[in-house]
Structure 1
Amino acid sequence: MTDFADFFFAQAVASAHVQFVYDLRAGRVVFVNAAYERILHRPVALVNADLPALLAQLHPDDRAYLAHYWARWKRDEITDEVEVRLQHPGQPDQWFCLTPSYQLLADGRVLLGGSLRNISVMKRYQENADLFNSRKNATLEILSHDLSGSFILMQQIAGFLREEVVSPPLSRVPEMLGVLETTSQSSVKMIRELINLEFLTSANTDLKVNRVDLGAVLREPLDQLQRGERFLGHEFSYSLPAEPVYANVDVNKFTQVLINLVSNALKFTPDTGQVAVRIVAGPTVIRIEVADTGVGIAPDMQPYLFERFTKARRPGLRGEPTTGLGLALCKTIVEWHHGHISVESTVGEGSTFTVEIPRAEYSSSAIQAPVEALPLFE
């Protein structure tokens, strides 16, 4: 057993990540490896004296979150990793991932160990990828709506001309108008299938959840949609919480849910109508509302809206096709996030779809506690 202990101790000492052990009763770090000095740029010998200054660098939005995590960690109630940020004046935030461990010794002492990994590069890549996907999906929706509208208009004009214009004998005009009508119809179908495929592909990938400021990550696609207002043909507006509000979400999937709900609102709202998105932070949940001034949904159809291949499906006001899968996928993704989706609608007045998901876990006492009040910092 000594050989095994020596082996794992040697691994901890040589690790490229910060490895540490904290004695809960003594209130002291009793082991930390050399990576502490290399990564955090603080002397190993002063680790206990440096703790208050080091943890004072925590991002303000992460302090209550870490306090709640710490309270559960010392009761051996967690195994999940936690990600936190350290702030450095004039430099980007430094991201760390903490993997916890808990050991109850024979004498009743509790040791809290862990591995601290610098994940700053990975987080920046992830944030850039999420931002790119958000912009791409919002832009695709804008282009889809704009192009679909043009093709639907051509289809309608071709149909009107084919019925109203009297062509000379043997003329190929009716045939060509029929081709134009059919081609326009096929183009609209192809465009919507492309958007639906993008949504389906996103929904079928593994869930990658991160704790994020929901208002900040949804601002970009909402801003894109607002900039594309002249192409959408509707008045589009949105409002976000004044302060950061955190949730555990897969950014790409959740953004797709939002865009899908906005897309539905656009499809069933006449030109010059209004579509508005509102994100509201409650005590324990975050509520996302997508409201429109469209045609509304009949009461007898509302219970079936979120079923796969629902009988409530119908083409958009401009002839946009639907698979009956979109809202069912939205419901599935929302439920993956431990949330709930609902609808309120009045025929002729419009609809409001509401998504509620939990705020990132915290306790009210932790929210109010200053950093110095945490046992770790005593």
Structure 2
Amino acid sequence: MPDYADFFQDQAEASAHVQFVYDPAAGRVVFVNAAYERVFQGTRGLVNAELPGLLRRLHPDDRAYLAHYWARWQQGPPANEVEVRLLHAGQPHQWFCLTPAYRQDAQGRVLLGGTLRDTSVLKRYQENADLFNSRKNATLEILSHDLSGAFIMIKQIAQFLREEVTSPLNSRVPEMLNVLETTSRDSVKMIRDLINIEFLTSANTDLKVDRVDVGAVLRVPLDQLQAGQRVLGHAFTYTLPAAPIYAHLDVNKFTQVLINLVGNAFKFTPDAGRVAVRIAPGPGVVRIEVMDEGIGIPLALQPYLFERFTKARRPGLRGEATTGLGLALCKTIEEWHHGHISVASQEGQGSTFTIEIPRAETVGAPARVGAVEVLE
């Protein structure tokens, strides 16, 4: 009969990722493969002596998170992987993804195993992609607002000239005014369609969730929107939490929800009006509020705001069209994040849209890894 234990040990030794087995009762690592020495620059035979030093290099924001995960892991295999950062003096931090394993034998002895993959390159690629998408989507919203306003003004001027100016007989002026009106109307529709297609395409892709500092990742599009406030014609401000707040987000999708809500606030707020975003911690949640000084939403329409093709849809103050899908998609994406979206509004007094999403799990007491505490 083949010796499967030898086969799997050979496989572990050949792996490029760190593989280990930990005995909680003994408080010791009982196996670690050769990759440990290459990845952590340590010595396999000294792994238990080196473990406290490794844990002290954990990113401070990840310590309570890992402690919570460790406590769950000792009760059974967690349903998900966990990602943590290891600090290096004067260098970028190193990302690791831990895939856990759990085994309990007939005598009740528990062994915890796992694979540690260095995902630093992948994480930095994802962060750069999210950064690019956030800036792109915020810039598209600014350009959409600016260009739509210009084309709507051209359309209005053409309509005014048609009504106020008498054209000579056989003049081509009425025909040219028709071209101006049609081109302007089609251009506005094309711009809004571009934004809607971008949002719909993103919403139809698979969810890619990471544990992120909400204020840090949303600062990028908020900075972009604030930089464009002169173009937008509104005073735009935002407030971020004083300390990091972590949540599990698909950064690209969640950013587009925020931009959609801010874009709606611009559409229904008169020129020189104020639009503001506030991000703050709540009890077990991260709270994001988008507030405006716009025309408000009639009470009778508010129950229908988040329905697909809602009858609550209205053109913007500058004639911007709406599909009635934006807020429905925002609600769907929030639900994917186990969150909630609501609105408070009065006609003539503006609106506040509030999103609440669960904070990433934390723990009140330290967990122990052998003789080493993973402190909050």
TM-score, normalisation: structure 2: 0.97
Residue number in structure 1 paired with 2:336: 336
Q: Quick check: 1:133 aligned with 2:144? A: no
After superposing on structure 2, the runs of 4+ consecutive aligned residues of structure 1 that deviate more than 6 Å are none
Aligned partners of 1:376 and 1:186: how far apart in 2? 67
Unpaired runs of at least 5, structure 1 = none
Q: Which amino acid in the other structure matches residue 334 of structure 2?
A: V
**SS, match of residue 30 in structure 1:** strand
Q: Is 1:258 aligned to 2:258, yes or no?
A: yes
Report the equivalent of 1:79.
Answer: 79
1:273-326 Cα distance to aligned partner (Å, 9 max, x none): 110000011230000000000000000000000000000001111000100000
Identity %: 74
Counterpart residue type for residue 82 of structure 1: V
Matching of residues 197-236 of structure 1 within 5 Å: 197-236=197-236
Q: Is the 8 A contact 1:51 1:377 kept in 2?
A: no
Q: Which residue of structure 2 lines up, in the alignment, with residue 160 of structure 1?
A: 160
Deviations 1:213-263 (A, max 9, x none): 010000000000000001101000000001111000000000000000000
Secondary structure, in 3 states, of the residue corresponding to 2:36?
helix
Q: Give me the whole-angstrom Cα distance separating, in 2, the residues matched to 1:377 and 1:34.
A: 24
Aligned residues: 372
Deviation at 1:79, TM superposition (A): 2.9
1:111 counterpart = 2:111: yes
1:296 pairs with 2:296: yes
Q: Secondary structure in 2 aligned to 1:374?
A: strand
> Residue type of the partner of 1:258?
L
Contact 2:81-2:98 at 8 Å conserved across structures:
yes
Deviation at 1:5, TM superposition (A): 1.9
Counterpart of 2:333, as a letter, is: I
Q: TM-score, normalised by structure 1?
A: 0.97
**Counterpart code for 1:363:** V
Matched position secondary structure for 2:153: helix
Unaligned ranges ≥5, structure 2:
none
Query: Could you tell me which amino acid in structure 1 is paired with residue 242 of structure 2?
Result: A
Question: Secondary structure of 2:3's partner?
Answer: helix
Match of 2:269 in 1: 269
**1:21 alignment partner in structure 2:** 21
CA distance in 2, matches of 1:120, 1:283: 32
| 2:244 partner amino acid | P
Deviation at 1:172, TM superposition (A): 1.1
Q: Output the CA distance in 2 between the equivalents of 1:293 and 1:77.
A: 50
Q: CA deviation at 1:337?
A: 0.1
Alignment match, 1:278: 278
2:368 is aligned to 374
- The letter of the residue matching 2:9 is F
Cα contact 2:83–2:95 (8 A) shared by 1:
yes
Contact kept? 2:77, 2:101, Cα under 8 Å: no
> Could you list the per-position Cα deviations for residues 190-225 of structure 1 after superposition, in whole angstroms to 9, with x for gaps in the alignment?
000000000000000000000000100000000000
Alpha-carbon distance in structure 1 between the residues aligned to 2:79 and 2:304: 39
Q: Which residue of 1 aligns with 2:306?
A: 306
1:328-365 per-position Cα deviation (integer Å, ceiling 9, x unaligned)? 00000000000000000000010000000000012233
Q: Distance in 2 between matches of 1:377 and 1:85?
A: 21
Counterparts of 1:10 and 1:135 in 2: how far apart (Å)?
47
The whole-number CA distance in structure 2 between the counterparts of 1:174 and 1:377 is 86
Q: Distance in 2 between matches of 1:126 and 1:307?
A: 32
CA distance in 2 between counterparts of 1:351 and 1:220 reads 24
8 Å contact from structure 1 (residues 81, 99) kept in 2: yes
Asked if structure 1 preserves the Cα contact closer than 8 Å seen for 2:229 and 2:236, the reply is: yes
- Distance in 2 separating the partners of 1:26 and 1:164: 92
8 Å CA contact retained: 2:77, 2:102: no
Secondary structure at 1:277 match in 2: strand
| Structure-2 separation of matches of 1:298 and 1:235 | 24
Residue in 1 that maps onto 2:171 = 171
Answer whether contact 1:79 1:101 (CA < 8 A) is retained.
no
